[in-house]
Each structure stands twice: as structure tokens, then as C-alpha cells.
Amino acid sequence: MFTAQDLQTYLPDQSAEARANDYPYAAPEGGFVLTGGTLVPLEDASLLQGRTAVLSVGSNRAPVQLRRKFGDDATVPVTPAILHDCDIVHAAAISYYGSVSCTAFPCSGTDVFLNIAWLDDDQLVTMHRTEALGVAYDYIRKLSGMVTHIPVPAAGGDIVPASQPVYGYASRSGVLDAGDGRPAALTAIPARGRQFTAMTQADAVTLARGKVDGLSDVSPDGLSQDRMSFVQQVIGDRDLRRQVNDCLKDEALHGEGPWLAQNVTADDIGGFL
């Protein structure tokens, strides 16, 4: 069972500052179900039937983000998984709420501990929209063998067959170059055999800010050198955020990961939320 302390950890009332600073947010290690705006253990494997398995690499791992996207009436079962030969790294983009987003990036020999959200058809459309499909992210399918499903003892153990197709999202903007042409992993995401330097969200924002000095004339007062003031500028000015992200994209690293694009566009889902 989830205790009151667990719920405070995984379903916090977030301020705007916490939403930016605490990305990608806390997530339980094992299986769980977000239902009725709260968390319960995953004990019924039948809840997965008829749903699409979507690998969560960043904030979608976290109950607080799933509740924000799908609401208190939603039921979303989640199972633990391992992504092989990739790490989760800081993307070359700042979200509308002020955090440097993330994406999977190829890294032979690294295993990342993540989870899978099992979405019904309506939830999948909502997820596509919140991921700005076709603009910020592509919808992809992981190649066979790239994801290992971790047993969920409370629901019967090995409840997900190895043949289960697993989908996800890959950043279109590329990833931040943290030096020497290498990305930086997220400190908050656990991994085995990690080869990239890991950075906190605060460090990633500072790194991104340092890459956009050429935009210092786009704001009447210039871009703030103070990290949180810069975040507030990006949150409050959509045009500035677009220019910042265009600048970051121009200097981004790119890598072909173990996945296939699924050719779903914004037009297919009726635009963005």
C-alpha cells in the first residue's frame, strides 16, 4: 500500500517553481495504478489489456505528471521496465513550464530503470497532444529486445510478455552538448553502466542559458544571468522561448536510437492541447 507520506512524495501540490525545478519528479520503483487521483498497487494484470504500452523516460514516469495530463477520473496502470543500450539525457529544449526536457539517447552498455504507462485510446491521443507530436517529439516504437519488463509480484510476477510492443517519444530537437560532443544524463533517473556525466535540472538550465547568449538583445532587459529569473523569462514569453529553443536546436547533438518512427502527426490527432 502507499502511505500518506508516499502520496505526498509522488502526488505533491506543485508550485510553478517546483514544477520547473523538480523535473522529472518522483516515481515509485514498482508497478502502480493511478486511479481516482490517488495511487494503489498494481494487483490486477487484466488492467493492461487493450491498452498501448508507452515507455516513460522523463516526467511521464511520475504520478504527478500523469494526474496533471489525464485528470483525477483517469485510471492508468504502470509497470516497471529497463531500457537497454540507451541513457536518458537532457534535450535541447526548454518546456513551457521552464524545465529542460529529456529524451532517450543511444549509449551501448547502459541500462536505464524506467516505467511503462498503459494508455487507453483516448489517453494515448491526449499524450500525443501534450508531447507536441510532430513538433517537439516523434512517436516511435522500440526495437525488439530493447526493453525488459520487470516482474510485478503483486499482480502475478511476469505479467508482460517479452513480445509486447513498446512505444514512446523521441525528441526532435536533439540533445544538449555538455562538452566534447557528449550529452549529459539526468541525475534523477537511475541507470546501470552509465557512461555520460549526469546533471541535475539546475545544472541543465545553467548549461542551456550559457548557450543562448546570442539572444541577449531579444528582451528589453536582456536575458537574465540568474537561473530562476531566466526560467521565469522563458515561461512568461512564448516568443522568447521559441527563440531560445531554436538556438538550442541549432547546437544540438543527434543520435539514431533503437526505435522506429510511427509516422503519427499533429493532424492525425487534431492538433495540440
* Ordered domains of the chain (ranges, CATH): 4-259 (3.10.490.10)
**Peptide bond before 24: cis, by omega within 30 degrees of 0?**
yes
Check residue 273 and give its pLDDT: 43
pLDDT by residue for the chain (273 residues), tens only, comes to 899 999 999 999 999 999 999 999 999 999 999 999 999 999 999 999 999 999 999 999 999 999 999 999 999 999 999 999 999 999 999 999 999 999 999 999 999 999 999 999 999 999 999 999 988 999 999 999 999 999 999 999 999 999 999 999 999 999 999 999 999 999 999 999 999 999 999 999 999 999 998 776 666 567 888 999 999 999 999 999 999 999 999 999 999 888 998 876 666 666 544
Give the list of residues 6+ apart from residue 169 with CB closer than 8 angstroms, or none: 54, 57, 103, 131, 133, 137, 138, 139, 140
H or E stretch including 96? none
Check residue 263 and give its pLDDT: 73
Check residue 128 and give its pLDDT: 95
Query: Can you name the residues that pair with 191 across neighbouring β-strands?
Result: 112
Contact status, residue 119 vs residue 131, Cβ threshold 8 Å: no
Contact status, residue 113 vs residue 57, Cβ threshold 8 Å: no
Which parts of 120-183 are beta strand (E)?
Answer: 137-142, 147-149, 167-171
Q: At what angle do helices 121-130 and 63-70 cross, to 10 degrees?
A: 100
